Amino acid sequence: SADELAREVERLFATLVREGARLGIEETVPVSNTQRLALSTLVDGGAMRLGALASAMGTTDATATRTVQALERLELVEREPDESDGRGVRIGASPAGRELIDRGRNRMATILGELVEEGERERVIELLRRLTGAVVS
């Protein structure tokens, strides 16, 4: 039923958040879920202005600012001049930030590769994309 599916998705999300370290998703560099979201957004989307990052994360400029400041202290993001606006800056993932996201994704891909048969992967990807799209629309 749809109710059972909703419970299972909720359980999966909670488990990933709670058990991330055990699964090898967590890194030696301590980053929160919000920081990981910001960093992965920058890895996937490239350098962007703070407002664009906040929008992509679905959060406020204030939260994005605090998140970027924390990531800067960890040397996982860098600021660069915005060439389209001499007064502005863009935030991008540093090489260390890209490496952190890549390592976590590689470990997750290994786990999923063992659990999801090759012939099922495209269908699982499609379903996850549809679920994500339904949540954000």
CA-to-CA dists, residue 14 to 7, 17, 33, 53, angstroms? 10, 5, 12, 24
* Stretch among 1-10, 22-31, 84-93 having the lowest mean pLDDT: 22-31
85, 26, 31, 37: which is closest to 59 by C-alpha? Answer: 37
How far is 38 from 32, CA to CA, in rounded Å? 10
Q: Report residue 106's pLDDT band, with 50, 70 and 90 as the boundaries.
A: confident
Looking at residue 33, its pLDDT comes to: 83
Rounded-to-10 torsion of CA 10, 13, 15, 21: -170
**Tokens 């800067």, residue located:** 72
Residue 128 has pLDDT above 90, yes or no: no
Looking at residue 86, its pLDDT comes to: 75
Has this prediction a pTM greater than 0.85? no
Q: What are phi and psi of 50, to 5 degrees?
A: -60, -45
Q: What is the DSSP letter of 26?
A: S
Looking at residue 21, its pLDDT comes to: 58
93, 90, 94: which is closest to 49 by C-alpha? Answer: 90
Residue 98 has pLDDT above 90, yes or no: yes
